Amino acid sequence: MIKKLTLKNFKAFEEETFNIAPLTLITGINGMGKSSIIQSLLLLKDNYNIKNLTTGHPISLTGDLVDLETAESLCYFKANDRKVSIDIVDENSLEGNKLNDYCWDLDASIANAIELPFSFSSTGTLEDLSLFRPSFIFLSAERLGPRGEYEKKYKRNFNTRLGVQGELTPAYLNNAANANQKIGLPGMKNSKLPQGADQLTENVNAWMSQIMALPMKTISNSISDSKFKLEYKFEGNMGKNFSALQVGFGMTFVLPIVVALLQAQKGDLIIVENPEAHLHPAAQVEIGMMIAQAVENGVQVIVESHSDHILNSLRLARKKGILGEKDINLIFVQHDISSGTNITFTDEIQIKDNGKLTKRPEYFFDTWDDILIKLID
């Protein structure tokens, strides 16, 4: 499980160390550098997939998970030595919770370079990092919306098992139903299902019904050797199935997240951008609580979000004891423009036992309070 991430001269960050908890929520107003934290991990994953990290071939800035364009785009704009560093501290439970350090130093001295020479040092093996396991899942903010049909494969050299945009989720669900696949962790069984109900598809239906506050079933049928149709069936509609195109974006956007959490096993790493996209506030709270439950059961989740409902669901999970003191960290990315330097920095905020925050910087989900004050003034 990743414990720390240090970035030096990486995009907006001159040098910053982030504490990565079992559940890490990254937030901040637009354009501050939130995505850069996740992009540093995706850059390494991309280059591990194509074996650059293991063969010593220069690191490519363009991959299936992230496109960082050129060395000029990658390197912090005030950097003098033009060396970009990514350092990961990981805890290996198989070695008695031993901490291992992995550091990549990239040469960004040629501004238009798209492949960067690098040096590497470590105290562990790359295969031990959850980031590099086949089970790693990344779901981008730009998820694939409702379609009349979904492909079995999409044109990527590498893809996660659900697709970077969630585009492989219908195919995954169809295979899971045919194989009678079980959920990855017993603790993720939906509470409304009877004891022993551990099939992945029945749990997907139960969680989707809970999140959307609408009794429903998700159905993925093969319509050819290479295509699948995603449909939804709702209670009280006389058995009629509705195409994903007919039910709006929210269900299709949240479905890959639900499946990712249910198929995950202990020690897996999942990164999700904007889980709140296209969801009603109550549904946002439910998916936030589901994420907390997965973390309670041993999955590491990194979330980027702008939603106060996601934040408040995690506060509620903390108050209910689902998450402990060390289970969650909030990283708030912001700029210091008071001195004219426009320097990016971060605040790390914890949630107390009662769900209250240790601090609330300006622009940290305080807009609702500000508007209420104006309304009653």
pLDDT, one tens digit for every residue, the chain (377 residues): 999 999 999 998 999 999 999 999 999 887 667 899 999 999 999 999 999 999 999 999 999 999 999 999 999 988 989 999 999 999 987 676 789 999 999 999 999 999 999 999 999 899 999 999 999 999 999 999 999 999 988 888 788 999 999 999 999 999 999 999 999 999 999 999 999 999 999 999 999 999 999 999 999 999 998 999 999 999 877 678 999 999 989 999 999 999 999 999 999 999 999 999 999 999 999 999 999 999 999 999 999 999 999 999 999 999 999 999 999 999 988 776 555 556 677 788 999 999 999 888 777 777 777 777 788 87
The answer for 289, left when phi > 0, alpha when psi is -120 to 50, beta otherwise, is: alpha
C-alpha span between 161 and 66 (Å, rounded): 17
C-alpha span between 23 and 354 (Å, rounded): 18
* Backbone φ, ψ for residue 328 (5° rounding): -140, 140
Summary count for the chain: helices (H), strands (E): 9, 17
Tokens at 118, concatenated? 């690098």
